[in-house]
Amino acid sequence: MIEEFDEALISYLKILRTNPQNANINYRIGLCYLNIPSQKIKSIPFLQSASAHISEKYVESTINEVNAPIQTLFLLEPLTR
């Protein structure tokens, strides 16, 4: 939200260790890597993992969200061309 992607990435990676299948966390990690200069390539495996669990009912503001938004596909597509 405040674009502190480096700091957010550290927290998200810690959370991912406890729940590696959480598509929302994988999506957020991918988003962080996309916004850190020279780290875009690192976003691909996280966005790919997140894309396996996309939900049209994704709610960004809830801590209980485990799915990823449709936007994941739009972020991933140019990276994998």
Half-sphere exposure of 49 (CA within 13 A, CB side): 20
What is the mean pLDDT of each successive set of 10 residues along the chain, which is 81 residues long? Answer: 87 96 97 96 98 97 94 95 87
Quick one: pLDDT at residue 81?
A: 87
Contact between residue 46 and residue 15 where contact means Cβ atoms under 8 Å apart: no
Dihedral (CA of 76, 11, 57, 50) sign: positive
Quick one: pLDDT at residue 2?
A: 67
The structural domain count of the chain equals 1
Quick one: pLDDT at residue 3?
A: 80
Query: pTM for this structure?
Result: 0.93
Quick one: pLDDT at residue 1?
A: 53
33: containing domain:
5-79
